[in-house]
Amino acid sequence: MARHLITSAIPYINGIKHLGNLVGSQLPADLYARYLRARGHELLFLCATDEHGTPAELAAAKAGKPVAEYCAEMWEVQAKLAEGFRLSFDHFGRSSSDQNRKLTQHFAKVLDEQGLIREVSETQMYSKADGRFLPDRYIEGTCPNCGFDSARGDQCDNCTKQLDPVDLINPHSTISGSTDLEMRETKHLYLRQSAMKDQIEEWIDTREGWPVLTTSIAKKWLNDGDGLQDRGITRDLDWGVPVQKGDEPWPGMEGKVFYVWFDAPIEYIACAQEWVDAGKGDDWARWWRNDKGAEDVRYTQFMGKDNVPFHTLSFPVTILGSGEPWKLVDYIKSFNYLNYDGGQFSTSRGRGVFMDQALDILPADYWRWWLLSHVPETSDSEFTWESFQSGVNKDLADVLGNFASRVTKFCRSKFSEAVPEGGTPGEAEAKLIADLTAKVREYETHMEAVEIRKAAAALRAAWVLGNEYLQEVAPWSTFKTDPEQAAMQIRLALNLIRLYAVISAPFIPDASAELLTAMHAEDAGWPDDVEAALTALPAGHAFDVPEVTFRKITDTEREEWQERFAGVRT
């Protein structure tokens, strides 16, 4: 049985993420991890906060706090929200960790020794008032394309045009507001990605079964224009991993830090070291070093499509270029964008639902189910309040929740709070077992292929089978003429609740745990044999009638939320 390493794209530290961010990496990664654990696989599921770079400095300055203090506080916030959404990371690390600093400097040293780093002299904007070079996002001005007066030095948020700081009209420093800017020469290190183009292309061509979205983006970056370009890996910033060759200084690079997109993916490896140092594991190398056993690991990454170029090209250049036996990714599950109610989620404008707000409104399972069953796998998808209300009310409340409620309450009313005995299964039961076995196997196939929407559809279809069985055999009617036969029907239905709780747990872990507790079946295992699973609770087994598993969302609530989250976040 393969060991599985799972990572999701690490969220940036500057603020609370919205639902589009959540469903683009962390949530589907958690679904897959929970499924594999339930099937008995050994796995390591890692994530972290991405803490370096200009946005972290800007966010800290806006908050009026030292950047290290700001990042530490936001890590706590993001860790708490991850727990709130039941993201089952084995470790949630930090890219500002000592482990990542040392490992980033190590990779820089070995890449330099391999001849894959070159020094480049270039001109950048310098602020006399601030006494420093200004990275792109520290410069704002008027967009020459559309006239927007808050365009950044790298891009205009209004018209999306890519810019250079020199393109801006009346540029100024976002630190001091000074317009006393000039272009000055500075030196930076570049990773010679172009030298690795053929090796990277060959590696991508050997990946099997990757989503079309992943491979098409990688190929586009490889082959458009001049192909894979060398990329700067240092910046003139105060906050970040200091530029060194391992433990040694890097002459001419004093006061510089590594570019966030160089050190951030390395945090995946460092996070495993943090996991060990935190006392949670005992051997990180068997997950990441092929000479220590990682060749037996299947490594799956989850990310939004905007992160694909860095994970299919830049990070593999770092890994392969090092010449060391590091584990490379086996499968990259990439996602399109989740849009919000006719437009886009917007962090700056507070448009849409953010993770903290979502948990204030409803428990995590409501969001988990809708987001995962509508995950933007093959194209962009859209969150609307009408769709969310329908998904919760029809799928969770009417199909699954209502089934559990009807069965347990009927049994308590007509028998007791224990599984009843008597009766003989017939054709209806045989058909249900056959149909349910097929649906569970279909669900497993989709989950193993990381086809999330198809897996959600198969799971819902399994729930529907139980409801259709109840409608067909109508135990409430059978009870009037043949109580023993009704007892058999309810016994089967009670076992169905147990089975549903087990197979639904990757999607809705809290509700599944509550149902298993109600059925006094907390130790229930995966239904490899569906027929056997439907007799796991024997006659006389006690249960409790569960509380309302899922409540319905009212039209009034939907309208209130739609209005509340349309505007600027306070």
- The domain that holds 282 is classified in CATH as 3.40.50.620
φ and ψ at residue 86, rounded to 5 degrees = 60, 35
Residue 569 is predicted with a pLDDT of: 44
Q: Is 156 annotated as a binding residue?
A: yes
Alpha-carbon distance of 152 to 168, in angstroms, equals 8
Q: Is the dihedral of CA 111, 311, 267, 237 positive or negative?
A: positive
242 and 292 both lie in a single domain:
yes
Alpha-carbon distance of 197 to 494, in angstroms, equals 58
Domain around 131: 117-191
What are the residues whose beta carbons fall under 8 Å from the beta carbon of 42, sequence distance 6 or more? 1, 3, 4
Model confidence pLDDT, tens digit, residues 288-338: 999 999 999 999 999 999 899 889 999 999 999 999 999 999 999 999 999
Q: Is the pLDDT of residue 246 over 60?
A: yes
The answer to whether 271 and 46 are in contact (CB under 8 A) is yes
209 and 177 both lie in a single domain:
no
CB atoms within 10 A of CB 255: 11
Q: Is the pLDDT of residue 66 over 90?
A: yes
77-81 mean pLDDT: 98
The answer to whether 8 and 64 are in contact (CB under 8 A) is no
Alpha-carbon distance of 117 to 115, in angstroms, equals 6
- Confidence band of 345 (pLDDT split at 50, 70, 90): confident
- Confidence band of 567 (pLDDT split at 50, 70, 90): low
From residue 26, alpha-carbon distances to 47, 116, 412 in Å are 8, 32, 40
Q: Which amino acid is at 485?
A: Q
Residue 29 is predicted with a pLDDT of: 98
- The domain that holds 139 is classified in CATH as 2.170.220.10
Q: Is 146 annotated as a binding residue?
A: yes
Write out the two tokens for 500: 């549903």
Q: Is the pLDDT of residue 257 over 70?
A: yes
DSSP 449: T
Q: Is the pLDDT of residue 177 over 60?
A: yes
Mean pLDDT of the chain: 94
Alpha helices in 243-345 (DSSP H): 260-277, 285-288, 308-309, 315-321
The answer to whether 351 and 340 are in contact (CB under 8 A) is yes
3-state secondary structure of 298: strand
- The domain that holds 449 is classified in CATH as 1.10.730.10
φ and ψ at residue 426, rounded to 5 degrees = -130, -150
Alpha-carbon distance of 561 to 570, in angstroms, equals 15
Residue 225 is predicted with a pLDDT of: 59
φ and ψ at residue 228, rounded to 5 degrees = -65, 120
447-463 mean pLDDT: 98
From residue 317, alpha-carbon distances to 112, 314, 371 in Å are 13, 5, 33
Q: Is the pLDDT of residue 348 over 80?
A: no
Residue 344 is predicted with a pLDDT of: 86
Our measurement of the distance from residue 283's CA atom to the centroid of its chain's CA atoms, rounded to an integer in Å, reads 25
* Residue position matching structure tokens 């890449």: 111
The answer to whether 322 and 547 are in contact (CB under 8 A) is no
Q: Is the pLDDT of residue 251 over 90?
A: yes
285 and 400 both lie in a single domain:
no
- Confidence band of 570 (pLDDT split at 50, 70, 90): very low
By C-alpha distance, which of 492, 486, 482, 549 is closest to 515?
549
3-state secondary structure of 467: helix
430-441 mean pLDDT: 98
Write out the two tokens for 230: 């060398």
Q: Is the dihedral of CA 435, 438, 444, 445 positive or negative?
A: negative
- Confidence band of 132 (pLDDT split at 50, 70, 90): confident
534 and 403 both lie in a single domain:
yes
160 and 269 both lie in a single domain:
no
3-state secondary structure of 418: strand
Q: Is the pLDDT of residue 391 over 80?
A: yes
Model confidence pLDDT, tens digit, residues 3-62: 999 999 999 999 899 999 999 999 999 999 999 999 999 999 999 999 998 889 889 988
By C-alpha distance, which of 75, 26, 50 is closest to 259?
50
Q: Is 271 annotated as a binding residue?
A: no
Write out the two tokens for 318: 């770092």
3-state secondary structure of 58: helix
222 and 325 both lie in a single domain:
yes
Alpha-carbon distance of 505 to 365, in angstroms, equals 10
454 and 557 both lie in a single domain:
yes
Q: What is the four-CA torsion angle of 187, 191, 192, 197, rounded to 10 degrees?
A: -150
Residue 26 is predicted with a pLDDT of: 98
Residues forming a β-bridge with 542: 418
Alpha-carbon distance of 257 to 235, in angstroms, equals 6
By C-alpha distance, which of 45, 26, 8, 37 is closest to 367?
26
296 and 269 both lie in a single domain:
yes
From residue 21, alpha-carbon distances to 235, 315, 341, 346 in Å are 26, 21, 15, 11
Residue 350 is predicted with a pLDDT of: 75
Q: Which amino acid is at 406?
A: R
Percent of the chain with pLDDT over 70: 98
Model confidence pLDDT, tens digit, residues 404-416: 999 999 999 999 9
- Confidence band of 351 (pLDDT split at 50, 70, 90): confident
* Residue position matching structure tokens 């949630």: 92
46 and 143 both lie in a single domain:
no
Q: What is the four-CA torsion angle of 491, 504, 1, 530, rounded to 10 degrees?
A: 20
422 and 465 both lie in a single domain:
yes
265-272 mean pLDDT: 98
198 and 255 both lie in a single domain:
yes
- Last residue of some domain: 156, 191, 226? 191
Q: Is the dihedral of CA 452, 457, 460, 461 positive or negative?
A: negative
Q: Which amino acid is at 46?
A: L
- Confidence band of 97 (pLDDT split at 50, 70, 90): very high
Return the half-sphere exposure (C-beta side, CA atoms, 13 A cut-off) of residue 133. Answer: 19
Q: Is 347 annotated as a binding residue?
A: yes
From residue 497, alpha-carbon distances to 40, 97, 410 in Å are 21, 45, 14
Q: What is the four-CA torsion angle of 117, 123, 127, 132, rounded to 10 degrees?
A: 20
243-263 mean pLDDT: 95
By C-alpha distance, which of 286, 342, 398 is closest to 44?
286
3-state secondary structure of 426: coil
- Last residue of some domain: 279, 304, 335? 335
- Confidence band of 222 (pLDDT split at 50, 70, 90): confident
Q: What is the four-CA torsion angle of 32, 36, 41, 43, rounded to 10 degrees?
A: 20
Q: Is the pLDDT of residue 206 over 70?
A: yes
* Number of domains, the chain: 3
- Confidence band of 160 (pLDDT split at 50, 70, 90): low
Q: Is 159 annotated as a binding residue?
A: yes
85-91 mean pLDDT: 98
Q: Is the pLDDT of residue 254 over 50?
A: yes
59 and 27 both lie in a single domain:
yes
- Last residue of some domain: 270, 303, 335? 335
- Please tell me the least confidently modeled range out of 27-31, 95-99, 118-122, 225-229: 225-229
